[in-house]
């Protein structure tokens, strides 16, 4: 099982979610984050006090999937989040050792979906 | 308000009478027909109308995305500051000085407030300077209403230029026809178009221009599929509460006296707003099995808009019809018309102010009754069908003028500065790209 | 306010006198005893009282959880709209028309505002329509006060039905006894129960009904162990600031004139609120080694509640006692009584409005002094112990009526619609399940 | 306002005249020269000024970090409650009772409001109690202004003590010199220093004391490198909107009548604020290629501050200069001076209130014109250079007194209680450590 | 060492935290997230514009534990978050390679607690 | 490749970011979290109702790095976040299996930076 973490532009969230739906990947956790990447943040100014390269709003999604779903998950995210511009973001894949569904206490692959 | 003026006369004759009565005493001479009670009320009303612009800023600001909320507030504060200066320099004169260009606009007699004194204004019992500043508050909020149509994509520099020119070339002329002109509407208004507190001048004017602007600007990225919900609905509700509060100054203050007419305007304003809120809530309930708060506040604003031209002329029961009807037409415009036509009037300025404003102007011709204090005109339902046509004519004039001039202005500005921010800027949000600020810290 | 009326007479005789004085001039005839200054003040006061309901919405809304904030605001806007319409149709008549059912309630004379004119109301110097709308604002906020007791678990449909019936069957009768009835309190009030701006009618009424409602509704899931802290305390503070501001219209406006009595009410209202805020803050400081802001604003509201019936009758120093005492009793009710009895009055409507309201009604009987402008009654501390009993009787009547009728109403509605949302809905939150909206976007 | 008083006389002679006129009728005797219109206006103005303190709380609260927002609101509510009680007990008397200590301060004649009646105050047409409560609102907001300098690091207990003593030892004496003293300024003011609504008493006083406080407190951890941006700019904007609204009561209300002078103050206040907002926005635009909203609202407040002493004496066009100039000097102070000197006046109380206040006091001496209603004094630009010196002297007196007394007070309190919270408390934030509360839930 | 990530209903947070306390697991990091799971979100409506199946508020907790604590950590979370209803959520277990306590620069198992 | 998660005091964020800059580690994702650690939270009180040991605000940063950068990443964070006081926080290191740059679809080590 894999634990996929993707960070991308907030305004892409709807597209990404839609793409995942299509691939039947329904379960997703979304978090509001800020990111500093290639795309240098615009400096904010408060009463002429410059805030060094401020962080930009990004959104992070986490998806636990079974190995066979990994590729299409990545594809769906890329398809939804890609704009070709700096700031598009990243996808990270970690290996997932165990998964438990709280409602049923099922564990392992079955619990993921 | 040639009509309004006429409406006021009795009260004013009274004011005069008092002056006469007191003429004996040294006091009188000194006081020169200024009534303390009326002055107190119009002072308060001016403050209330001022508050409406920050209120509007929150009504709008709560409905956009986090990344654009400051741009909305900024545009409203631009109106607060820029329009005020333009008003004292030129605007007031263009709107209320004696006719120039055959009544198309006022002349330069009052430029820089030259000749605007503390003597009673016209036949009122309040100082001319007070009338000037009270009207100035209207000149602030009217352009601000359009902000909802530009939202989330228009260049700030273009907005500054457009707003300033719009005040002088669209608002002032129409204000002059309706309230400032001898005959009004190129002398046509002489037949007595009714607009108590600004249905044509304020709402139709802004609503129509907003529609033109949203058409010329084009849709926001991702509209309509992936635009996001209001980022802070409580802010929009706060704005609505303050608008309701301030609107009493806008409508009842337009009586320019603390008299029966002001009371009538106050009551009808309140009742119409309540009715409109109920109706919109009901429509939501039927359509989506749940009443939404955004629906209720949108309805309330529609009601406030529609009663504006009517408030001094209709009865409280008439106001229920004006308000209820306002929600019906605005609901239709927002929910059916806009999606069908596919323009992106981001915060429904046209749907709410334009459409409900037009409804209000017509409804005034339907429910106006000479039974209202200081009022002499009847509408269709009181046996005077002619009034409806008079109202329609006033509406037509306003729509045409606002649409044409706004269109030209925006086209020109598009050439000079460009109207719209870049794709990348729009994505990042106007707060950061246009104003170098972020509304809320995520981590601190 | 039979008493209040009496209190007003001098001022009114004066009003009359002026009318006489001016009767010579054409003006007079036309003006018919309307005083511009008084009218201006009551116009403003009406607007101020209107603002209190949005203010209350934020005071309450800030204290609930994110997922329920819109439901609170919605319920307050329901009151703004529904109560207004009910008021102009039936409510005002039931409260202020000549006795029906032997004084239990007003008759139908004013249904649909028939016969409510712009002539001076009763012996006042303001138009009848203005008195109507000013009182209408009270009829909006009173039911809204109860929202805090239903919070986070009551069905919106049930709330609509309950609020509407409550206005007509609980509020209007009590308002009629205290302010509208010839003798008041079934003729018993003739002995002069004091309630300047609505201690019994507004606060005890709402507070007691709120208690009944919270008992019938039962506790929220997880109460008291895992209910969560205020989701947005600054909103609650904003609400308090606006309440303090609006309450001047509520209390000082109840003089129905810009006279010395209004000034006295203004001063005592301000002083009592300050004292109450200090006392609650001090109690927190002693008890938890730190003064809390929520404590201070809760104290301020308690002070505003307690001074409401007293503001026109007590002195500024008396007001300090009324306000300080209010925090003491309310603090005890909120911090000791509620946990002990274990009911879930979510936002302490009973503790703050009920208990402080009762205290205020009694305190009026203690500190009332005929030295106050236009006032003729003394309280216990000024040598008239009888007044306390009179006050207690008025309190008792109100409590019994409010409790019994509310209980019956809620029981019936429970059978018809059910009072409470489902467990699952309660968990997800009322905003989404009852209104299909989310207050704040997390990602946009 | 010995000067202001003089300014008022005409109006008051008038008031008297009316009394005479009516003396025939029973009414008159009873009414004793109270004008209903003036009373209505000052009642409203008092409420408006009250609202300014919650408004200020949000203006400041939005600019600090999440973890300290409640501490700011709390300190403002402390002023609302504590100052009110101190004012009715001692403050009013110290400020407005007949001279004691040779005019340094007022005597004890009015302690506990003894002898403060409902008769017309001095030569005004409003009740003494109304004058008392109106002035009381000024005594609330003035100390509250200093909160911005203590922000994020001062002990609440120390603040309570300092604020209380500051009111009695700094505010009351200066208020007595300027407004309450026979000659004013130890008899020196007799030569007519102009301060219409509180430039010296309120803004210079608070601004200078704030500077002293920020110097004695020292910088916040991480200042200036890693202090964080405003946690909620919309709150600061909301506060500004409400301040602008309330300031009309502050300035135009200071005419103590609904007369031409009030109208002049209203107009100049509005115009100066608009001009100042524009100028600051423009400076930002030039300096950072973008106008910032924080800049615009800071400019607006600077304009409101600067016009305060001038509003009754200058013309609308003069007001544009006063306001525009205010932004220039305040901008310089905030953007250049503060970083250079390196003190941490967290929210620029000195830069905005102190510097713009000083500018305003001087500007009054430049643009004052006897053409303004009820005004008799001309400034430098109207041929009376002497007035500038008179203004400078008043400024100097205020600065010295405020600086010296505040310094001593803070030093003493530092010994007794300590001024500053611990490092760890500062890091966690004052909301939790000083008040045991959290402003916003992150999860609920 | 394991890195435990659990996502569940916000109103369960107090219960879960209490349960963890009992098991002497004191150190926890909590994040505000939104989730799309089995439990389909209720569609929100704005001026009659339907927001496709909106995300629901959830809360995410992260706990780094030594292997021997893993099971009781999971048990505690399940015990606190379980309601048997759809939407109860999931627990994910990743392997943790290293852990550093910033205050002391201690590393490994000792640094976790 | 490693996935570094660090949790520390919010007011240290600027310092940490600066330190990372120095070490040329530019790409970071920041999240607002609440933590319960050694440093017991101060109990909040609402109308005298005590909230059991409330959570404290912390900030969490996530950094994906190539193995050779791991140590200096940790050092930078410790240098920026260390105060020696309880509450300083923790750093967690997980192994990262895959990384994708959405803009270019590059994968692996090259995609990280
Ligand atoms: N190595 C990384 N570790 C943690 N977060 C990263 C990393 N690389 C990118 N991110 C996140 O992704 C966001 C977008 O990265 P960015 O470099 O701007 O995109 P692109 O690579 O397309 O230019 C950043 O703001 C940051 O939040
Ligand atoms: N495979 C997954 N990947 C990421 N998040 C998940 C996954 N499964 C569940 N979640 C999170 O858990 C929450 C609850 O899941 P849900 O399916 O509603 O619970 P249940 O399985 O009890 O029905 C979801 O809203 C989502 O945030
Ligand atoms: N084992 C852990 N699992 C998850 N989060 C942790 C763990 N240990 C610490 N944290 C996070 O780090 C923060 C600081 O931890 P704390 O114990 O207060 O620091 P210190 O170890 O320096 O005393 C905690 O509030 C929590 O958010």
With a pLDDT cut of 90, the percent of chain C lying above it is 83
DSSP B12-44: HHHHHHHHHHHTTSHHHHHHTT--HHHHHHHHH
Ligand 2 and A17: CB distance under 6 A: no
3-state DSSP: chain B helix, strand, coil percent, rounded to 5?
A: 75, 0, 25
pLDDT of residue E51: 75
SS3 (DSSP) at D408: helix
CB contacts < 8 A, A to F, total 82
CB contacts < 8 A, D to E, total 9
SS3 (DSSP) at C377: coil
Instruction: Report how far ligand 1's centroid is from the alpha carbon of A58 (Å).
Output: 9
Mutation test of ligand 3: which of F7, F77, F81 has the most ligand atoms closer than 8 Å to its C-beta? F7
Task: Answer whether B436 sits within 8 Å of A43, measured CB to CB.
Answer: yes
State the ligand closest to the CA atom of E100: 3
Mapping DSSP onto H, E and C, the string for C104-169 reads: CEECCCCHHHCCCCCCECCCCCCEHHHHHHHHHHHHHHHHHHHHHHHCCCECHHHHHHHHHHHHHH
pLDDT of residue B102: 83
Distance of alpha carbon C177 from alpha carbon C190, whole angstroms? 10
Pairing between strand D105-106 and E2-8? unpaired
Mutation test of ligand 3: which of E20, E29, E92 has the most ligand atoms closer than 8 Å to its C-beta? E29
Q: Is the peptide bond before D224 cis (omega within 30 degrees of 0)?
A: yes
B23 inside 8 A of chain D by CB: no
State the ligand closest to the CA atom of F27: 1
Distance of alpha carbon B269 from alpha carbon B303, whole angstroms? 8
Q: Among C337, C408, C351, C433, which Cα is nearest to C169's?
A: C408
Give the tens place of pLDDT for each residue, B228-248: 789 999 999 999 999 999 999
Query: For the ranges C213-227, D122-136, D398-412, which has the lowest average pLDDT?
Result: C213-227
Distance of alpha carbon D196 from alpha carbon D8, whole angstroms? 11
Burial of A95 (0-12, 13-18, 19+ CB in 10 A): middle
Is the pLDDT assigned to residue C419 strictly greater than 50? yes
Task: Answer whether A95 sits within 8 Å of E92, measured CB to CB.
Answer: no
Find chains touching chain F: ≥3 CB pairs under 8 Å: A, B, C, D, E
With cut-offs at 50, 70 and 90, classify the pLDDT of residue D149: very high
* Mean pLDDT of all residues in C325-335: 97
The full length of chain C comes to 444
**How many C-beta atoms surround the C-beta of residue B158 within 10 A?**
20
Is the pLDDT assigned to residue C17 strictly greater than 50? no
Task: Answer whether C232 sits within 8 Å of D439, measured CB to CB.
Answer: yes
What is the average pLDDT score of chain B? 90
pLDDT of residue F39: 66
Nearest to B427 among A9, A32, A55 (CB): A9
Chain D neighbors of F56, CB-CB under 8 A: 428
Distance of alpha carbon F78 from alpha carbon F24, whole angstroms? 16
pLDDT of residue C15: 28
* Mean pLDDT of all residues in B115-134: 96
Chain C neighbors of E9, CB-CB under 8 A: 427
The full length of chain F comes to 113
With cut-offs at 50, 70 and 90, classify the pLDDT of residue C44: very high
Q: How far is D254 from chain A (nearest CA, A)?
A: 32
D72 vs D229, which has greater pLDDT? D72
- Give, for F56, the enclosing helix (H) or strand (E): strand F56-65
Ligand 1 and F25: CB distance under 6 A: no
F93 inside 8 A of chain A by CB: no
The full length of chain D comes to 444
CB contacts < 8 A, B to C, total 192
* Mean pLDDT of all residues in D306-327: 97
With cut-offs at 50, 70 and 90, classify the pLDDT of residue B182: low
Question: What are the DSSP E strand ranges found in D120-240?
Answer: none
Q: Is the peptide bond before B93 cis (omega within 30 degrees of 0)?
A: no
Interface-testing mutation among B294, B296, B344, B348, with chain E (most E C-beta atoms within 10 A):
B294
CA atoms within 13 A on the CB side of A79: 14
D202 vs B444, which has greater pLDDT? D202
Task: Answer whether F90 sits within 8 Å of E101, measured CB to CB.
Answer: yes
* Mean pLDDT of all residues in B363-390: 95
Cβ atoms C134, C257 nearer than 8 A: no
Q: How far is D320 from chain B (nearest CA, A)?
A: 8
Give the tens place of pLDDT for each residue, A86-109: 889 999 999 999 999 999 999 999
Q: How far is D367 from chain B (nearest CA, A)?
A: 16
CA atoms within 13 A on the CB side of D376: 11
Distances (CA, A) of B176 to B4, B92, B97, B181, C428: 14, 9, 8, 5, 54
Residue nearest to atom 12 of ligand 3 (CA): F89
Cβ atoms B217, B153 nearer than 8 A: yes
Chain B neighbors of F81, CB-CB under 8 A: none
Is the pLDDT assigned to residue D38 strictly greater than 90? yes
Chain D neighbors of A47, CB-CB under 8 A: 294-295, 298, 334-335, 348
Nearest to C335 among F44, F48, F51 (CB): F48
Distance of alpha carbon B355 from alpha carbon B360, whole angstroms? 9
Nearest to A57 among B67, B221, B437 (CB): B67
Task: Answer whether F55 sits within 8 Å of E102, measured CB to CB.
Answer: no
Nearest to D335 among A47, A51, A54 (CB): A47
Mutation test of ligand 2: which of E59, E89, E92, E93 has the most ligand atoms closer than 8 Å to its C-beta? E89
D182 vs D282, which has greater pLDDT? D282
User: Could you identify the atom of ligand 2 that is nearest to the CA of residue A103?
Assistant: 22
Is the pLDDT assigned to residue C1 strictly greater than 60? no
* Nearest chain F residue (CA) to E31: F33
Chain B neighbors of D240, CB-CB under 8 A: 54
With cut-offs at 50, 70 and 90, classify the pLDDT of residue B185: low
**How many C-beta atoms surround the C-beta of residue C340 within 10 A?**
8
Nearest to C287 among F44, F48, F51 (CB): F48
With cut-offs at 50, 70 and 90, classify the pLDDT of residue C13: very low
* Mean pLDDT of all residues in D41-56: 98
Distance of alpha carbon C197 from alpha carbon C361, whole angstroms? 11
Instruction: Report how far ligand 1's centroid is from the alpha carbon of C442 (Å).
Output: 20
Give the tens place of pLDDT for each residue, C25-42: 333 333 569 999 999 999
Task: Answer whether C229 sits within 8 Å of D444, measured CB to CB.
Answer: yes
Instruction: Report how far ligand 3's centroid is from the alpha carbon of B246 (Å).
Output: 51
Q: How far is C442 from chain A (nearest CA, A)?
A: 7
Distance from first CA to last CA of chain B, Å, rounded?
53
Which backbone phi and psi does C214 adopt, to 5 degrees? -70, -30
* Mean pLDDT of all residues in F28-39: 87
What is the average pLDDT score of chain C? 90
Ligand 3 and F41: CB distance under 6 A: no
Report which DSSP code applies to E54: -
Cβ atoms B185, B177 nearer than 8 A: yes
Q: Among F22, F28, F99, which Cα is nearest to F61's?
A: F28
Instruction: Report how far ligand 2's centroid is from the alpha carbon of E36 (Å).
Output: 6
Ligand 1 and F64: CB distance under 6 A: yes
pLDDT of residue D128: 97
With cut-offs at 50, 70 and 90, classify the pLDDT of residue A40: low
Is the pLDDT assigned to residue B5 strictly greater than 50? no
Is the pLDDT assigned to residue D389 strictly greater than 50? yes
Distances (CA, A) of A68 to A65, A71, E5, E64: 8, 7, 22, 28
* Mean pLDDT of all residues in D39-64: 98
Nearest to A31 among F3, F31, F103 (CB): F31
Spell out the residues 6+ positions from residue C113 whose beta carbon is closer than 8 angstroms to its own: B316, B317, C88, C92, C129, C132
Ligand 1 and F101: CB distance under 6 A: yes
Task: Answer whether A58 sits within 8 Å of F102, measured CB to CB.
Answer: no
* Mean pLDDT of all residues in A55-60: 88
B223 vs C347, which has greater pLDDT? C347
Instruction: Report how far ligand 2's centroid is from the alpha carbon of C312 (Å).
Output: 61
Quick one: CA torsion of D409, D410, D414, D420, rounded to 10 degrees?
150
DSSP C32-49: TT--HHHHHHHHHHHHHH
* Nearest chain A residue (CA) to E83: A103
Distances (CA, A) of C50 to C38, C84, F107: 18, 11, 62
Spell out the residues 6+ positions from residue D3 whose beta carbon is closer than 8 angstroms to its own: D192, D193, D194, D195, D377
User: Could you identify the atom of ligand 1 that is nearest to the CA of residue F112?
Assistant: 1
Cβ atoms C315, C171 nearer than 8 A: no
Distances (CA, A) of D61 to B55, D154, D230, E54: 19, 15, 9, 32
Find chains touching chain E: ≥3 CB pairs under 8 Å: A, B, C, D, F
With a pLDDT cut of 70, the percent of chain D lying above it is 90
For the whole model, what pTM was predicted? 0.94
**How many C-beta atoms surround the C-beta of residue D381 within 10 A?**
16
Spell out the residues 6+ positions from residue D185 whose beta carbon is closer than 8 angstroms to its own: D177, D178, D193, D393, D394, D397
- Give, for D163, the enclosing helix (H) or strand (E): helix D156-166
Instruction: Report how far ligand 2's centroid is from the alpha carbon of F90 (Å).
Output: 27
DSSP D271-283: HHHHHHHHHHHHH
Cβ atoms A56, B428 nearer than 8 A: yes
Give the tens place of pLDDT for each residue, B39-83: 999 999 999 999 999 999 999 999 999 999 999 999 999 999 999
Is the pLDDT assigned to residue D383 strictly greater than 70? yes
**How many C-beta atoms surround the C-beta of residue B102 within 10 A?**
9
D16's torsion region: left (phi>0), alpha (psi -120 to 50) or beta?
A: alpha
Complex ipTM more than 0.90, yes or no: yes
Task: Answer whether A29 sits within 8 Å of E60, measured CB to CB.
Answer: yes
Q: How far is A5 from chain D (nearest CA, A)?
A: 22
Give the tens place of pLDDT for each residue, E32-78: 999 987 766 677 888 888 876 668 889 999 999 999 999 999 999 99
A59 vs D184, which has greater pLDDT? A59
pLDDT of residue F11: 84
With cut-offs at 50, 70 and 90, classify the pLDDT of residue A53: low
Distance of alpha carbon B332 from alpha carbon B280, whole angstroms? 10
């Amino acid at each position: 099982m894999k634990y996929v973490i993707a960070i991308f532009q907030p305004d892409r969230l709807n597209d990404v979610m839609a793409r995942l739906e299509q691939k039947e990947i329904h379960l997703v956790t979304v978090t509001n984050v800020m990111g500093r990447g290639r795309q240098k943040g615009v400096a904010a100014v408060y009463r002429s006090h410059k805030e060094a390269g401020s962080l930009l709003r990004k959104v992070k999604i986490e998806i636990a999937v079974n190995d066979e779903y990994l590729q299409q998950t990545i594809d769906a995210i890329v398809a939804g989040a890609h704009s070709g511009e700096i700031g598009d973001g990243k996808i990270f894949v970690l290996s997932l050792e165990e998964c438990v569904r709280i409602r049923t206490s099922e564990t392992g692959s079955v619990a993921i979906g | 308000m040639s009509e309004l003026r006429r409406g006021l006369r009795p009260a004013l004759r009274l004011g005069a009478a008092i002056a006469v009565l007191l003429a004996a005493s040294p006091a009188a001479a000194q006081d020169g027909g200024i009534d303390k009670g009326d002055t107190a009320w119009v002072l308060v009303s001016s403050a209330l109308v001022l508050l409406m612009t920050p209120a509007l800023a929150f009504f709008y600001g709560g409905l956009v995305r986090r990344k654009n909320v400051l741009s909305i507030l900024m545009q409203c504060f631009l109106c607060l500051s820029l329009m005020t200066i333009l008003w004292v320099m030129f605007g007031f004169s263009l709107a209320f000085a004696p006719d120039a260009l055959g009544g198309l606009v006022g002349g330069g007699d009052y430029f820089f407030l030259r000749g605007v004194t503390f003597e009673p204004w016209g036949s009122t019992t309040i100082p001319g300077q007070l009338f000037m500043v009270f009207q100035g508050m209207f000149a602030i909020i009217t352009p601000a209403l359009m902000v909802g149509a530009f939202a989330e994509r228009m260049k700030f520099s273009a907005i500054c230029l457009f707003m300033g020119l719009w005040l002088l070339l669209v608002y002032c002329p129409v204000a002059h026809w309706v309230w400032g002109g001898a005959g009004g509407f190129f002398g046509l208004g002489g037949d007595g178009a009714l607009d108590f507190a600004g249905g044509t001048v304020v709402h139709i004017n802004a609503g129509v221009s907003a529609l033109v602007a949203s058409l010329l600007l084009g849709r926001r990225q991702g509209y309509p599929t992936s635009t996001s919900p209001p980022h802070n609905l409580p802010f929009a509700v706060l704005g609505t509460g303050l608008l309701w509060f301030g609107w009493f100054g806008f409508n009842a203050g337009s009586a320019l006296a603390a008299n029966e007419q002001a009371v009538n305007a106050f009551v009808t304003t309140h009742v119409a707003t309540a009715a409109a809120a109920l109706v919109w809530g009901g429509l939501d309930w039927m359509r989506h099995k749940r009443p939404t708060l955004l629906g209720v506040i949108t309805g309330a604003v529609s009601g406030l808009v529609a009663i504006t031209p009517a408030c001094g002329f209709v009865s409280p029961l008439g106001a229920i019809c004006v308000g209820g009807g306002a929600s019906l037409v605005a609901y239709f415009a927002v929910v059916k018309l806009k999606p069908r036509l596919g323009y992106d009037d981001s915060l429904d300025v046209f749907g709410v102010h334009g459409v409900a404003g037009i409804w209000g102007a017509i409804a005034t011709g339907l429910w106006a009754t000479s039974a209202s204090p200081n009022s002499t005109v009847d509408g269709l339902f009181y046996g005077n069908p002619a009034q409806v046509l008079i109202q329609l004519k006033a509406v037509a004039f306003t729509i045409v003028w606002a649409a044409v001039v706004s269109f030209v202005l925006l086209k020109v500005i598009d050439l000079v500065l460009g109207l719209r921010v870049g794709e990348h800027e729009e994505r990042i949000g106007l707060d950061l790209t246009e104003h170098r600020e972020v509304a809320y810290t995520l981590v601190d």
